[in-house]
């Protein structure tokens, strides 16, 4: 979508076309081909394309933005890079705790984080170097009845000293794809370090090495419905701990910090239960904290599986009952699964070099039963465990 087409979409005529295109999409039960054909029959090509793009993106945005998606505007890359509303709301709540006089969002994209900050009744402003994204972010604030100022600017050129808190989301993609080197981010790592010397929060990739986190800065890894989405660096003025894992599931949120971690835990034998810590917990290096909370230990000191003789329900880990240990070698394992009539198998693995889909094919499964198999190491020894989710 180009800037001119998007601006037209915000006019009265554009809004009427968008509403009509949305109704056609509903009438056609979400069929994109039929919807496009119908809309192009009563609108010129450029306007029809702009409306159809928004209809499609709004449908795809529901998983990230819920009911707000029906009112918001998006670009394809902006939607892909936008923070999920639940994650953004959590971060905005943390920012609001410091009661800043104002918040500046550097590199606001289509405004996902900006919307969350504005909903905390904070005075917000935002910039982005892309004019189309600025127009989209501004339109999203208006569509949701929120205040805030958005303008085109480069983060490198701004004086941020007048703002209470600065939030930044450096771009980690370029024309060739994802950028893993922090010095290739835009703005680059030196800018992030300067920003973290004042009250700020910087969204970074979840794979950021612990060694890069400056002294006094809190690193928070966040997962949503079992998938690690991002990490955030909180400046010393906003930090509470050194490392934190935040797990968002359903309507709830759980958090674990390095203050909950008793330190290294020895490996122990397989107990009645097996726990698979959430990815945010693993990234934050807090698996031993989960083990302590479950009265358990590690299967292997280098692998993120916890075992215990006690059954717990926790949002910080998936819980399994250990049914039995099966042969680890492939041929006897195939025979054991066949003897149990297992025809559908979920394979989970940590600490072993194999591809679950390829192994599943080689096992030539037959039968009516469904099962979960965990392949890992116990005290350095390859082990296969038949488990059942609690």
Fold of domain 80-240: Rossmann fold (3.40.50)
Residue 344 pLDDT class (50, 70, 90 cuts): very high
Q: What was the pLDDT predicted at 265?
A: 78
Residue (of 260, 253, 256) closest to 220 by Cα position: 256
Residue 172 pLDDT class (50, 70, 90 cuts): confident
Q: Hunting for tokens 């099966």 — which residue is that?
A: 326
Mean pLDDT of 44-56: 95
Q: What was the pLDDT predicted at 20?
A: 97
Strand partners of residue 349: 375
Provide the CB-side half-sphere exposure for 94 (13 A, CA).
Answer: 24
Mean pLDDT of 360-389: 95
d(CA 118, CA 108): 13
pLDDT tens digit sequence for 254-263: 999 999 999 8
Q: What was the pLDDT predicted at 270?
A: 96
* pTM score, whole prediction: 0.91
* pLDDT cut 90: percent of the chain above it: 89
Q: Hunting for tokens 């096992």 — which residue is that?
A: 363
* Residue-averaged pLDDT of the chain: 94
pLDDT tens digit sequence for 120-168: 999 999 999 999 999 999 999 999 999 999 999 988 888 999 999 999 9
Q: What was the pLDDT predicted at 379?
A: 85
* pLDDT cut 70: percent of the chain above it: 99
Q: What was the pLDDT predicted at 177?
A: 66
How many residues does the structure list for the chain? 390
Q: Is the pLDDT of residue 67 over 90?
A: yes
Residue 250 pLDDT class (50, 70, 90 cuts): confident
Residue 224 pLDDT class (50, 70, 90 cuts): very high
Q: What was the pLDDT predicted at 136?
A: 98
Q: Say if residues 217 and 239 touch (Cβ distance below 8 Å).
A: yes
Q: Say if residues 290 and 281 touch (Cβ distance below 8 Å).
A: yes
Q: What was the pLDDT predicted at 41?
A: 94
Write the CA distances from 273 to 12, 13, 37, 48, 178, integer angstroms.
Answer: 61, 61, 55, 56, 39
Q: What was the pLDDT predicted at 175?
A: 63
Mean pLDDT of 191-216: 95
Strand partners of residue 253: 248
Q: What was the pLDDT predicted at 376?
A: 96
């Amino acid at each position: 979508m180009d800037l001119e087409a998007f601006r037209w979409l915000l006019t009265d005529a554009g809004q009427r076309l968008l509403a009509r295109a949305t109704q056609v999409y509903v009438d056609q039960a979400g069929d994109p081909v039929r919807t496009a054909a119908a809309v192009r029959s009563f609108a010129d090509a450029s306007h029809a394309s702009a409306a159809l793009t928004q209809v499609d993106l709004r449908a795809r945005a529901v998983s990230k933005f819920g009911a707000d998606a029906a009112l918001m505007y998006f670009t394809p890359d902006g939607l892909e890079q936008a923070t999920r509303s639940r994650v953004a709301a959590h971060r905005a709540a943390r920012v609001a705790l410091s009661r800043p006089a104002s918040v500046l969002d550097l590199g606001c994209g289509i405004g996902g984080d900006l919307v969350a900050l504005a909903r905390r009744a904070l005075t917000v402003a935002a910039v982005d170097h892309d004019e189309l994204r600025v127009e989209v972010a501004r339109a999203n604030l208006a569509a949701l009845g929120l205040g805030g100022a958005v303008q085109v600017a480069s983060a490198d050129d701004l004086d941020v000293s007048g703002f209470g808190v600065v939030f930044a989301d450096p771009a980690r993609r370029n024309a060739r794809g994802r950028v893993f080197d922090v010095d290739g981010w835009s703005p680059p790592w030196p800018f992030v370090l300067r920003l973290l010397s004042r009250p700020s929060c910087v969204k970074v990739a979840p794979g950021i090495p612990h060694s890069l986190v400056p002294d006094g800065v809190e690193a928070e890894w966040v997962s949503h419905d079992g998938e690690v989405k991002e990490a955030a660096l909180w400046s010393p003025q906003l930090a509470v701990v050194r490392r934190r894992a935040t797990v968002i599931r359903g309507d709830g949120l759980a958090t674990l910090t390095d203050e909950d971690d008793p330190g290294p835990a020895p490996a122990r034998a397989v107990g009645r239960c097996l726990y698979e810590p959430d990815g945010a917990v693993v990234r934050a290096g807090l698996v031993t904290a989960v083990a302590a909370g479950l009265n358990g230990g590690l299967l292997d000191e280098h692998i993120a599986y916890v075992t215990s003789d006690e059954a717990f329900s926790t949002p910080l880990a998936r819980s399994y009952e250990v049914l039995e240990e099966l042969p680890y070698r492939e041929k006897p394992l195939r025979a054991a699964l066949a003897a149990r009539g297992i025809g559908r198998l979920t394979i989970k693995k940590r600490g072993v070099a194999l591809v679950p889909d390829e192994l599943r094919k080689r096992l030539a499964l037959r039968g009516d039963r469904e099962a979960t198999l965990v392949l890992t190491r116990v005290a350095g020894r390859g082990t296969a465990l038949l488990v059942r989710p609690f």
